[in-house]
Amino acid sequence: MNILLKSTKIVCPENRELHLKKRDILIKKGIIEKIAASIDPPSNTKLVDLKNLHVSLGWLDTGVSFGEPGHEERETISHGLHVAGKSGFTDIVLYSSTSPVPDTSSDVVFLKERGQGKATSLYPLGTLTKNSEGNDLAELFDMKNAGAVAYYDFKQQISNPNLLKIALQYAQNFGGLVFSFPQEGSIKGIGVAHEGVVSTTLGLKGIPALAEELQIARDLFILEYTGGKLHIPTISTAESVKLIANAKKKGLDVTCSVAVHNLVFTDESLQDFDTNYKVSPPLRTQKEIKALIKGLKDGTIDYITTDHIPMDVEEKRVEFDNAADGTLGLESAFGALNPLFGVEETVALLTKGHERFGIQSPSLEEGQKACLTLFDPETEYTFGMGDILSTSKNSMFLGAPLKGKVYGIINNSHILI
């Protein structure tokens, strides 16, 4: 199929000749055939002429959960990739949050095969340890050969420092990337909310910022000793930003991410005990948000993730202490980030990270594969239940004012709008 994008504003700082220019873009068999001020549509061409159409390179999300295998009622891989595409993401890194967890090469192959033939490309994580139990390393090398882009015991600390040391040393043999979740479990204890005025007032057990910062400090000391590649997902405190900034100044190979919701909401949102606001790491304070945004702007924080985690209503419609952690994030991501950073910086943040995960970076040039996100950055609206495309509905963004609507993507010779 031929596709012609009409009068689209290109947001692509990497291409100075086209950045912020209005152009027609002709795509043939998944390849960008021509970019020009005006193109007459050839025969058998799908014309895309949408209100205030903007286009950028495809977006990458470095942390997404679905459910399959084991929790298909939350979200299947097929439908989850459809949601990701409609939310603007051409590539997603899939968390190792399934049941059973992907700790062998055959598990990784299954995930890759389930993601084949979709507009959005799926890149799975394998677990770091067998069964994510934190005792013995999983089949890291075999999983890499099967297509795993990194290793992560989903939302679980690596409690044994020697295990992290060995993992970082071993993974260097094949360029493996190790994730370490930033939360010290003994200090977190049975906490369910940020430790502070709000948790005390509401009578909720607190999670100190120290639980995150102590784990990060330990991990960075180990990384300095071993070398290797470390990624710290979903940081949430100001001190964490400082620790990672200092590590980068030392030349350590460390990257980190922050979840969209930790840039938007504070623990004040817990006043009504709405379990959609229960996430890990927890929502913190405005002071932390300010430091996280600053960390993104100066490059200390490398990536933004939606940290999209679908959950059944039964897992959320319980007492706050007993509710599962997690919120949806794909559908609301662009509309939440756009008011914070503006369209150019938001796009820059959402297109980062391909090289870190061994994913080929797209290019917006004639002759290159079409890997594009289509959107309107100006539409303002209140995020409602009708905006949720996921099977599960546990979004903390319900009722939030957003700016920017995503039309869809063109990728892998598919158009999804």
Distance, C-alpha 32 to centroid of its chain:
27
Q: How far apart are CA 222 and CA 233, in angstroms?
A: 17
Active-site option among 307, 321, 325, 376: 307
Q: How far apart are CA 321 and CA 193, in angstroms?
A: 9
Reference 98, options 140, 142, 136, 153; nearest CA is 153
What do you get for the CA distance between the two ends of the chain, in Å? 15
| DSSP structure class, residue 120 | S
- pLDDT for residue 390: 98
- Pinpoint the residues of the chain covered by CATH 3.20.20.140: 58-357
- pLDDT for residue 1: 78
Known catalytic residue: 142? no
Tens of each residue's pLDDT in the chain, 417 residues: 799 999 999 999 989 999 999 999 999 999 999 999 999 988 899 999 999 999 999 999 999 999 999 999 999 999 999 999 999 999 999 999 999 999 999 999 999 999 999 999 999 999 999 999 999 999 999 999 999 999 999 999 999 999 999 999 999 999 999 999 999 999 999 999 999 999 999 999 999 999 999 999 999 999 999 999 999 999 999 999 999 999 999 999 999 999 999 999 999 999 999 999 999 999 999 999 999 999 999 999 999 999 999 999 999 999 999 999 999 999 999 999 999 999 999 999 999 999 999 999 999 999 999 999 999 999 999 999 999 999 999 999 999 999 999 999 999 999 999
Q: Hunting for tokens 């870190």 — which residue is that?
A: 356
CATH class of 58-357: alpha beta
Homologous superfamily in CATH for domain 2-55+365-416: Urease, subunit C, domain 1 (2.30.40.10)
Contact predicate 98/123, CB 8 Å: no
- Pinpoint the residues of the chain covered by CATH 2.30.40.10: 2-55+365-416
Distances in whole angstroms, Cα of residue 162 to Cα of each of 77, 136, 178, 344: 35, 11, 14, 42
Q: How far apart are CA 216 and CA 8, in angstroms?
A: 43
Sequence-ordered strand ranges (E) for 114-188: 121-124, 177-179
Which residues, in sequence order, are CB contacts of 286 under 8 Å at separation 6+? 266
Reference 216, options 157, 295, 162; nearest CA is 157
